[in-house]
Amino acid sequence: MFSLETANIERAITNAKALHPKVKMIEFGTYEVTGNKGNTYTVKCYRKAGEKIVECNCATRAGVACKHGLAAVSLHIALAARRGH
């Protein structure tokens, strides 16, 4: 889990761009991300106490942005903009 406001996301963005993980929406705020080795991860995007939170079930430690979370968040932001959130 990481906060978009406080996490260092540059490395995760670079990794996501290089690996092109596939993102599928399960429902708004919940996404399935397929990694470069075929593993699937569940990512949840939501707001809590005014912060934008991203949770991924990969092994990356809490507070550190992961490439799966960043891949899902890009879709989530686009969908939220369309919905007017």
The pLDDT tens digits of the residues spanning 26-36 come to 999 999 999 87
- Any idea of the CA torsion for 53, 26, 22, 59, to the nearest 10 degrees? 50
Contact 9, 76 (CB under 8 A): no
Residue 8's φ and ψ, nearest 5 degrees, are -85, 105
* pLDDT of 6 over the 80 cut: no
Q: What is the mean pLDDT of the chain?
A: 90
Q: What distance in Å separates the CA atoms of residue 30 and residue 1, rounded to the nearest whole number?
A: 14
Q: Quote the pLDDT of residue 42.
A: 97
Q: Quote the pLDDT of residue 19.
A: 85
Q: What is the mean pLDDT of residues 5-24?
A: 86
Domains in the chain: boundaries = 2-83
Q: Where residue 5 falls among pLDDT bands split at 50, 70, 90?
A: confident
In 3D space, the residue among 43, 47, 39 whose CA is nearest the CA of residue 30 turns out to be 43
The residues facing 46 across adjacent strands are: 53
